Structure 1
Amino acid sequence: MAEKRLVVTFGEKSKLIVLDTNDIANTIEKIRLKFNIDGNCKLLAKCEGVSKFVDIDIDDEDDVYVLQHCSELLVSVEQKVTESESSVYDEESLDESLTADSEASISSPSAHSTPRAKHYKKDLVLDIDQLLNDNPKGESILEEYAANNTLTPQSRRNLVNIVTSGLVKTCRTPYYPLKHEKTSCALAIVERFPSLKNKYSKTGYEHFFSDKGRQSGYIQDRLKNLRRYIPESAKKRTSTANTSNELPAKQMELGGIVVEPLPDENATKLASFCKRAAPDLKKDIVKAMADIHGNFSKWILEEAPTAYEVLQEYPRFKDIDELVNQHFRIKFSSDISKQLLLKWESVIAPVIMKLAASTTTADVHHLYGECHVDVSEELNSEVLAMYSFLLLVLFLPSTPRNRGSQKQTMKLLIDFQPIGVVLEEYLLQKKNQTQPYLLCIGTKKAPSQFFIIVDSHAIPCQENIVSAIDKLFKLHYVFNIHYAQQLRMFYMFMDSVVYGIVPMNTDTLPNKIIELNAAIEATSTEA
């Protein structure tokens, strides 16, 4: 219970009342009894150092904070008025009357009736261009957007920092803007920079600010950082509720097409044939595996075997390349299955490289410089594809960013080993590694072979990075393996932006993925 002794004013009467400011409903009831108020009443609170009173909304957590820290509290009686009567109170005259009343520290029922309180909540108006022109970094943001029709993550961060600083200076409660003020700020950003809008959401600005559930978004994150530097006494306590959005532990839980299994006797015969048939019967093996897809998927879901056990029962996944793709295609459709091969080199990789060229973050700058160490060298599409996958890992970190951890995270996607490495010895060293990843024999610019390494097995891939990543991603679904936590954001990008398995309008997608997708779409539209 948060008890607070406060002088409460109703009309010309003032009383010292002990209030439980965590419970607005109880507070209102206690005030009604103290002043013998017949009917509903509303509260208007003002914090020390602020000239205006705030209409306390029982459902607004920011208003609750104002109530908990207010220095003056006024009470008004809710009265019914006609539309014509309420319309005479415009926002400007209301602000003046509230300011005058706060200086006198008294109120009357007629001076602070509910209609005035309702009209007080007006949208915040921010001049984005003016804020940017007044800031040294603003000009480069405007120039970059004019040239590219999008912003790099770093420029977007600068934009949010500048605009949020403007919000803090103009909001009613310092460092704690109300929801409608943050909403107005987010709306102003996407109206000024339309390509930053998330066209898959209802409003398009939720990644900048959303009040669904717990408040979130870039603006909210920036406000939290700014509050770290204000006095402890001025800080608002926050809930410790866990609101993290995790992917399903197993990828098959995301859905797809369910194929009816064959009778057990038929399925057992076909599985035995696939296991023992000679390699020259490849077409028959592929067909048989397609026929028992329903039985295979049912076994995977019900028995939850390890990757090692799957490869023991169905060893042809190791020597027939198209089996992983076939099972994925049956589950999700041909159209979904080919999305990475269609999009990566022609649409997504160029945008990632373009963003990397304008990014000064140390790890991104270092990797991009490694790719372009010789400016006269014309890079082929294979090299650009390789570096764009690695840069994507850096653009979408799932763990706190530091140089060492990012290098290790990239190795969880692709481990580079020199030509001549003995595969059997390598597998012995990695025998405790159960999470699938790519082994690339060769270098980033000159790869020779690719293998998927999982549970002491090496599954050969085609000799190009896009096909290898495609097979690695699909293996997670076919074998029902959860994503590595350090690569969670990378695979969520693949799920949503690339393959479209997870809809872009879902509330669980992180803001960085929404932002990167907006940049890709803006660049594609421009082209």
Structure 2
Amino acid sequence: MLVKVEYGGVKKFIKVPDIEGTFDLPAFFQEVTDKFSLHEQLERRGELCLTDETGTEVDADIFDELLKSGVKEFRVNCQYSVTDLHIDIVNDSCDSSVVQLSQPATPSSSQHSPTSPAPSLLESLSSPSSNGSDSVIMVSTTKKKKAAHAEMDRVDALQKVESVLKSHPKGKDIFTEYEKTKKLSDGTRRLMVNILVAEMTESYGRLPPRCVRTSYARGIVALFPYLEDPFSKMDLYEHFYDPAGNTGYLAWRLKTVQRNSSETRQKSPTTQLLSSPIAQRQSLLSVEQLDGEECQEAISVITHSTDDSLIKAKMKETFQYRQKLVHDQNESSSIFEIFPRFLDTPGLIEQDFSLMFGESVSGKFISKWPTYFKPKVIDECKKNPNVSELLSSLDSGTENEHGWDSDVTSLLLLLQLLPPTSRGPKKMAKISSAQATDRLFKFLKEGRSLSTFLEQVNVRQPFLLCIGEHKKKIEKFFIVMDKVVLPCAAQTGLAAFDTLFKAHYVFSVSYDEALESFYTFIQTTVYNIDVGQTKETPRVKELRTRLLQE
């Protein structure tokens, strides 16, 4: 089987190697590489790759089978394009059998003018002119002209994004900042997105195809690899554009442009993702669970016993029953009446959480936050003038009784990096970071009336109540949820927050809307719970990308 190969304006005939009656794809690619001395280019740019008309890759082990089965159309691309490489189907008489897409072959179909695009699809191998020993394969790895509905490969996408940014007067600032810091500040990232969306809408109209948006997102992380999301399910760029939910910085900017132009928009269907704290899930139970009368007897023992070890043992045996209660809207409000030991026995929240996820997940926040995330969050905030007061409280030499200790401060700095927004279907009124802080931590000076304090609280979602002489000297921590006070055995702010986070899962309570991005970051990035199943804002993904850089 002969193949006519064109490279750099030079055409040569190459045979598809037939090894013991089998057409060998690697040997064929090797012939092409040898004939045109492409070893150095392929080493830098990638390898040849054969696909069918749907873009499905054809592996070497089925290459021969597909040829002999009469598959109609093929493409051959480079995983990273090799410049000016053409491989065309010919037959043994040296006449090209290439056709334009699915049109019938004509005598002129084998000759291409300098301005006409190179054909990329194979003629049917089952046609009279393409069956038998004189039929050959056409391979096209030419860099094609941009098509509105054709997704650019990674290198094409990189080159496109690079070209757009370099041609813009302010594009140089983006490259300069990235080269210095290996990241982009919020302002620079917005500038980059605005430039790319402006070019995208100019080239493709107000509603660029999904494949175009995906290509631009792919090009961004290809050009700036430190912006990749290491927790991405597949493509590393969903925080710039996620085609499944039509979200991300590019999608948001496009929606803003469309809204400002007062034109009708078509909303893409959103993907329903797991809402982690209130989701029913399989637990990691290693303790036999009680039901029926035995369960009721255990609950009675829990209610009347004063032995902490016995209470915890019986709580383990009734965990499954308790989870059914908290996920039943009609019964969840009675959880503290049926299990009153939550009100006076510290450690039960942590125990239930461990039964859900295991000890390994349960201990991740305490083990990872102080040594890894805390210093990175502080370093990330040093460039933000709006958090100077919080940063000053980290200075041990500064006498500031109004500030929190360094552990709690690091969490409040994270909240500054993930502030409340008014996004979402409910369009919650935007609040300040200071107001959001008050939904996370509340301070009560030692000696003040707890009951009076609770009367003034109108927050239903869980928060951490800290009681002490001042914020840097907390004596007691409590979890408050819908005005119910739960004891917390923690001696530090970090340990108390760990319990607060776990309470959402144990009692199946959703995150406070104002703290959703903050909690979601803690959930997926620190505890690694429901990674890839939880809806994350691009801001959460971008911050993770920054903090996980080594």
- TM-score in same-fold range (> 0.5): yes
Query: What is aligned with 2:371?
Result: 346
Alpha-carbon offset, residue 294 of structure 1 = 2.5
Cα pair 1:495 1:501 within 8 Å, conserved: yes
Q: Summarize the Cα distance change of 1:133–1:469 in structure 2 as closer, same or farther, 3 Å threshold.
A: farther
1:314 to 336, 339, 344: 339
Task: Provide the C-alpha distance between the structure 2 equivalents of 1:498 and 1:406, rounded to a whole number of angstroms.
Answer: 21
Q: Which moved more, 1:338-347 or 1:440-449?
A: 440-449
Cα pair 2:418 2:539 within 8 Å, conserved: yes
Query: What is aligned with 1:510?
Result: 537
Structure number with higher helix proportion: 1
Is 1:156 the equivalent of 2:180?
no
Task: Provide the C-alpha distance between the structure 2 equivalents of 1:135 and 1:119, rounded to a whole number of angstroms.
Answer: 25
Cα pair 2:276 2:534 within 8 Å, conserved: no
2:249 to 213, 218, 224: 218
Cα pair 1:385 1:466 within 8 Å, conserved: yes
Query: What is aligned with 1:72?
Result: none
Structure 1, residues 278-297: CA drift from partner, whole Å, max 9, x if none? 2xx22222222222223322
Q: Summarize the Cα distance change of 1:336–1:273 in structure 2 as closer, same or farther, 3 Å threshold.
A: same
Cα pair 2:288 2:317 within 8 Å, conserved: no
Alpha-carbon offset, residue 375 of structure 1 = 6.3
Equivalent runs, 1:66-105 vs 2, <5 Å: 79-81=103-105, 85=109, 88=112, 93-94=116-117
Q: Summarize the Cα distance change of 1:181–1:244 in structure 2 as closer, same or farther, 3 Å threshold.
A: closer
Alpha-carbon offset, residue 190 of structure 1 = 0.5
Q: Summarize the Cα distance change of 1:506–1:255 in structure 2 as closer, same or farther, 3 Å threshold.
A: same
Gaps of 5+ in 2: 1-99, 119-139, 424-428
Alpha-carbon offset, residue 138 of structure 1 = 4.5
Alpha-carbon offset, residue 229 of structure 1 = 4.7
Q: Summarize the Cα distance change of 1:333–1:80 in structure 2 as closer, same or farther, 3 Å threshold.
A: farther
1:131 to 157, 165, 171: 165
2:305 to 272, 277, 283: 277
- 1:172 alignment partner, SS class: helix
Q: Which amino acid aligns with 1:385?
A: D
Q: Which has the higher contact order (CA 8 A, sep 6+)?
A: 1
CA RMSD of aligned residues (A): 3.9
Q: Which amino acid aligns with 1:489?
A: S
Cα pair 1:252 1:478 within 8 Å, conserved: no
Structure 1, residues 2-61: CA drift from partner, whole Å, max 9, x if none? xxxxxxxxxxxxxxxxxxxxxxxxxxxxxxxxxxxxxxxxxxxxxxxxxxxxxxxxxxxx
Query: What is aligned with 2:426?
Result: none
Q: Summarize the Cα distance change of 1:178–1:156 in structure 2 as closer, same or farther, 3 Å threshold.
A: same
Q: Summarize the Cα distance change of 1:479–1:87 in structure 2 as closer, same or farther, 3 Å threshold.
A: farther
Structure 1, residues 276-335: CA drift from partner, whole Å, max 9, x if none? 222xx222222222222233223333475345x322222222332211111110111111
Q: Which amino acid aligns with 1:80?
A: P
Alpha-carbon offset, residue 497 of structure 1 = 1.4
| Aligned length, in residue pairs | 409
1:207 to 235, 239, 260: 239
Cα pair 1:164 1:219 within 8 Å, conserved: yes
Q: Summarize the Cα distance change of 1:133–1:81 in structure 2 as closer, same or farther, 3 Å threshold.
A: closer
Gaps of 5+ in 1: 1-75, 96-114, 360-364
Q: Which amino acid aligns with 1:191?
A: A
Q: Summarize the Cα distance change of 1:175–1:343 in structure 2 as closer, same or farther, 3 Å threshold.
A: same
Alpha-carbon offset, residue 220 of structure 1 = 2.0
Cα pair 1:417 1:439 within 8 Å, conserved: yes
- 2:204 alignment partner, SS class: coil
Equivalent runs, 1:130-209 vs 2, <5 Å: 131=165, 135-136=169-170, 138-139=172-173, 141-168=174-201, 171-199=202-230, 200-209=232-241
1:452 to 463, 466, 479: 479
Q: Summarize the Cα distance change of 1:382–1:340 in structure 2 as closer, same or farther, 3 Å threshold.
A: farther
Q: Which amino acid aligns with 2:421?
A: T
Is 1:291 the equivalent of 2:354?
no
Cα pair 1:138 1:159 within 8 Å, conserved: no
Cα pair 1:252 1:480 within 8 Å, conserved: yes
Q: Which amino acid aligns with 1:393?
A: L
Query: What is aligned with 2:520?
Result: 492
Q: Which amino acid aligns with 2:335?
A: V
Q: Which amino acid aligns with 1:456?
A: K
Q: Summarize the Cα distance change of 1:387–1:457 in structure 2 as closer, same or farther, 3 Å threshold.
A: same
Q: Summarize the Cα distance change of 1:454–1:87 in structure 2 as closer, same or farther, 3 Å threshold.
A: farther
2:278 to 251, 276, 287: 251
Task: Provide the C-alpha distance between the structure 2 equivalents of 1:94 and 1:352, rounded to a whole number of angstroms.
Answer: 51
Cα pair 1:382 1:464 within 8 Å, conserved: no
Query: What is aligned with 2:359?
Result: 334
Task: Provide the C-alpha distance between the structure 2 equivalents of 1:202 and 1:484, rounded to a whole number of angstroms.
Answer: 29
Q: Which amino acid aligns with 1:429?
A: Q
Query: What is aligned with 2:502?
Result: 474
TM-score (norm 1): 0.67
Is 1:463 the equivalent of 2:491?
yes
Is 1:367 the equivalent of 2:390?
no
- Taking only the aligned residue pairs, the percentage that are identical comes to 27
Alpha-carbon offset, residue 369 of structure 1 = 3.2
Alpha-carbon offset, residue 437 of structure 1 = 1.0
Alpha-carbon offset, residue 187 of structure 1 = 1.9
